[in-house]
């Protein structure tokens, strides 16, 4: 991979490429890492540029990959760094990658939604279980005659005086 230092000698060149070959040529130049591109049309609006839709698609795929990476890190799954950059896919392969990333993002979002719903259900059921246990304890105490006498004497002050005699 090349380095772009200010003191390193550079050459300014202008490339004229056929649009069919531009993707592969720019891809190869990017893999070398020794090229810096200059905007020859700085006055043209971003939305009027020729490949703006392709750039948007790439940005959207990048966003989806960042989302997947965040979910992987949230799940404490180690990401192995091979140190290699994968080859740039051909334009026809980009469509398949887009579909794969879209499917993966949707599945992860659905999993997150289901997980939140399950957590909510678990907490509600745990709360109900504790309520039922307390209710059962209450009714068990009411069935015990010894406890019933003690509780009635606590409630009726006239009974409390008679019980001590």
Other beta carbons within 10 Å of 58: 13
Lowest mean pLDDT, pick from 104-108, 113-117, 137-141: 137-141
The CA–CA distances, whole Å, from 96 to 19, 106, 130 equal: 22, 15, 51
Predicted TM-score of the model (pTM): 0.66
Structure tokens of 51?
């490949």
Give me the pLDDT at residue 165, please.
44
Phi, psi of 31 (to 5 degrees): -65, -35
Domain spans, the chain: 19-164
């Amino acid at each position: 991979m090349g380095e772009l230092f200010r003191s390193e000698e550079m050459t300014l060149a202008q490339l004229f490429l056929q649009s069919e070959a531009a993707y592969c040529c720019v891809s190869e130049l990017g893999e070398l890492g020794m090229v810096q591109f200059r905007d020859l049309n700085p006055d043209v609006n971003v939305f009027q540029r020729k490949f703006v839709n392709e750039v948007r698609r790439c940005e959207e795929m990048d966003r989806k990959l960042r989302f997947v990476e965040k979910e992987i890190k949230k799940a404490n799954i180690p990401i192995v760094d091979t140190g290699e950059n994968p080859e740039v896919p051909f334009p026809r392969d980009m469509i398949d990658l887009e579909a794969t990333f879209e499917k993966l993002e949707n599945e992860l979002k659905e999993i997150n939604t289901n997980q939140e719903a399950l957590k909510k259900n678990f907490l509600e059921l745990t709360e109900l279980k504790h309520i039922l246990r307390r209710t059962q304890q209450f009714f068990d105490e009411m069935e015990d005659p010894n406890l019933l006498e003690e509780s009635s004497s606590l409630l009726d002050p006239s009974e409390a005086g008679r019980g001590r005699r």
